[in-house]
Amino acid sequence: MTAPTPADASPDATAVPPPSPRAHRRRLTTEIWIVLGLSLGRSGLYAVVNLVDRLTAGPPLADQSTTLNPSRSPRPWLDLTYQLLQIGFALVPVALALYLLSANGRSAVRRIGLDRTRPWRDLAVGAGLAAVIGIPGLGLYAVARALGLAVEVQASALNAAWWTVPVLVLAALQNALLEEVVVVGYLMERLRELRWSAPLIVVTSALLRGSYHLYQGWGAFLGNAVMGLVFAEYYRRKRRVMPLVVAHTIMDVVVFVGYALIPPEWVAALGLD
């Protein structure tokens, strides 16, 4: 029998040593910047520049508008294709965040509470959060518009087609997954690993949420930052993202689909066109 080689006798001799705590923190920090740079951090920077553009363009914010779900082609089948592609690619950062959180064989969806272990409770909590956040949010938007602190937001400009409502529902779900998984689940877990204090983690998540809504004006920043505080604090206490996804989806569906179903004459009468 052949005698074992030194490498065979001591397999740990060539093992890579674990990184130092400092190197691990540096790697996590770099990872966070990459994930945010590919997703909502990038959106936040664009929103800041867009707000500066709006503030220096001449017309006041109240006289400007933005469209959340624009049509991308006059041909319905191409428009549908573009919409589905955008929704699909927007979810890639979600997949990346979940993949990174699943290191060492851990289940990312269980880690951040994105699983379906409590469907009815998550639905009830999500609906409650949607009511608590959504109704005052509409009031805040109206006040911000009256004070000239928000642009006119057109929730949908899709051409009427059989797929309009399903696409708007998918867009709402995509927004919810992207924001709640990345800004709440992923970011808060990583900042917790970096040993940030709980209040700082909650405020950071909330400010990031507000930042990428700045293109809608100061009112949207404030409203979404408050929503971010509530959602981040809920996650800090419960460690479940699913109710937040449910709440966010409900709010966006109400806004997107409700706007799309308003008759054109009502839109004109309300000054929303």
- Supply the pLDDT for residue 269: 47
- Supply the pLDDT for residue 152: 92
- Supply the pLDDT for residue 44: 97
Name the residue ranges covered by the structural domains of the chain: 61-269
Contact criterion met (CB below 8 Å) for 176 and 183: no
Token look-up 């000239």 returns: 148
Say if residue 3's pLDDT is above 60: no
Mean pLDDT of 28-49: 97
Percent of the chain with pLDDT strictly greater than 90: 77
Paired tokens of 3: 């005698």
Q: Which 3 state secondary structure label does DSSP give 241?
A: coil
Q: How confident is the model at residue 261 (pLDDT cuts 50, 70, 90)?
A: low
The contacts of residue 212 (CB under 8 Å, 6+ apart) are 40, 43, 44, 46, 47
Q: How confident is the model at residue 20 (pLDDT cuts 50, 70, 90)?
A: confident
pLDDT in tens, 84-141: 999 999 999 999 999 999 987 889 999 999 999 999 999 999 999 999 999 999 899 9
Question: Would you give the DSSP letter of residue 61?
Answer: G
Q: Which 3 state secondary structure label does DSSP give 153?
A: strand
Q: Which 3 state secondary structure label does DSSP give 167?
A: helix
**Averaged pLDDT score across all residues of the chain:** 90
Low-confidence winner among 55-59, 77-81, 162-166, 269-273 (lowest mean pLDDT): 269-273
Percent of the chain with pLDDT strictly greater than 70: 89
Contact criterion met (CB below 8 Å) for 208 and 221: no
Distances (CA, A) of 8 to 4, 12, 159: 6, 9, 68
List the Cα angle 63/65/67 in 5-degree steps.
170
- Supply the pLDDT for residue 115: 95
pLDDT in tens, 115-128: 999 999 999 999 99
Contact criterion met (CB below 8 Å) for 235 and 184: yes
Mean pLDDT of 49-75: 93
End-to-end CA distance of the chain: 86
Say if residue 267's pLDDT is above 80: no
Between 157 and 126, where is the model more confident? Answer: 126
- Supply the pLDDT for residue 158: 86
